[in-house]
Amino acid sequence: MKINSLKLNNFRNAADSEIVFSPGVNLLYGLNAQGKTNAIEAIYYLAGLKSFRCPKYREMIAHDSVAAKIEAQIEYESRLVTLSAELPKIGRRTLKKNSVKPEKLSEFLGVFRAVLFCPEHLRLVKDGPGERRAFADAAVCQLKSHFVSVYNEFNRVFAQRSALFRRFGKNADPEQLKIWDGAYAVLSVRISRMRKEYLQLLSKRAAQYYELISSGGEKLDFEFISDVDPTGENASEELKKLLEEHRETEIKNLSPPRGAHRDDIKITLDRKSARFYASQGQQRSIVLAMKLAEGDISRELTGETPVFLLDDVLSELDENRRGFILSNVGSGQVIITSCDTSLFDGTDGVKKIRVSGGVYTAEE
């Protein structure tokens, strides 16, 4: 899988820009705040329909514009496909595949797959559970396109339950509560199950990569933490009982005290919490192993190597880890941003693209 070209219109600081990529390693270089990460953000948006920098797509639109557009030509399974996203400040976004609006979101998601590695991911181990849930969700939605629909419905039910308690408190209709509890429990378990299944795929591969990076010094393990075992036969019923047992807490906080929004991934090195005991170097090696494993899973399940997006992350890694990631992304396409082109001095086959003020100029 590869991206042949990317067109940006009024996307952040790119008024009307086009980038043509090579099938191998592509380096976007230039000073800070010129548009390097903007290109990575736009590419990744087409893979997961979500920015890794802001919660709302309207924040990606140029300040003086009413809409932005991202368009890319993707090559996969020996086919060429054009994906586009029109992002208005007012109204709903418009997605198109080969100039046709898909009837379902699942017809768009999963067409293009990318693995993103950015400096924020280096905090994946030491930050809170939300970061680790986001990692799993971003990977799962590219492999199981219905995940986004389930997740959005879960958020809708979550909000409806909160509104019900906000309005009626302890006087909420028991029959209504039974309906909302049932819907919430089913959706919560589905999300947790997909996360757990993905982690089971990730664990072995990430541990193998970590062993290579650390020369076999420590054993890396992962454990999925959830309020109920989502793979259990009666998981939904178990969660419904927990909701009933903690009803007063939910009425007080206007938020379900149990469910998928509390899931976490426990990461250990030699059975010790990596979050509390791993050094900064160990934490970075863990994240590196997880990202490479993410790429392997995508390739094994789809038959196509995903595009690797490395946003200003190489400068954050030492020489050994830089070399390891570049030698293990396989023969697929890699798009890298960096202020420091000297990292690639003497490296053959790198297409260098200078970025200045939202304009992307390829070196001859």
Is residue 214 predicted with pLDDT exceeding 90?
Answer: no
Domains 1-113+306-364 and 122-303 share a fold: no
Chain segment 196-207, per-residue pLDDT in tens: 999 999 999 999
Q: How many CB atoms lie within 10 A of CB 206?
A: 26
Q: How confident is the model at residue 190 (pLDDT cuts 50, 70, 90)?
A: very high
Q: What is the percentage of the chain residues whose pLDDT exceeds 90?
A: 77
Q: What is the mean pLDDT of residues 150-178?
A: 90
Q: What is the mean pLDDT of residues 325-352?
A: 85
Is residue 172 predicted with pLDDT exceeding 90?
Answer: no
Q: What is the mean pLDDT of residues 274-292?
A: 94
272-273, strands of its sheet edge to edge: 220-225, 264-269, 272-273
Task: Write down the CATH number for the domain with range 122-303.
Answer: 1.20.1050.90
3-state secondary structure of 85: strand
Phi-psi domain of 278 (left: phi exceeds 0; alpha: psi -120 through 50; beta: other): beta
Q: For the chain, what are the domain ranges?
A: 1-113+306-364, 122-303
Cα–Cα distance for residue pair 335/30, rounded to 1 Å: 14
Q: How confident is the model at residue 330 (pLDDT cuts 50, 70, 90)?
A: low
Cα angle for residues 123, 53, 98 (degrees, 5° grid):
125
Percentage helix, strand, coil for the chain under 3-state DSSP, each rounded to 5: 45, 25, 30
The whole model's pTM is what?
Answer: 0.92
Q: What is the mean pLDDT of residues 286-296?
A: 95
Do 43 and 11 touch, CB atoms closer than 8 A? Answer: no
Do 1 and 332 touch, CB atoms closer than 8 A? Answer: yes
- 44-48, 278-282, 345-349: which is most confident: 44-48
Chain segment 116-141, per-residue pLDDT in tens: 999 899 899 999 999 999 999 999 99
- In the chain, which ranges are continuous DSSP H helix? 36-48, 129-143, 146-168, 174-213, 235-245, 247-253, 274-277, 280-302, 319-328
CATH 3.40.50.300 fits 1-113+306-364, yes or no: yes
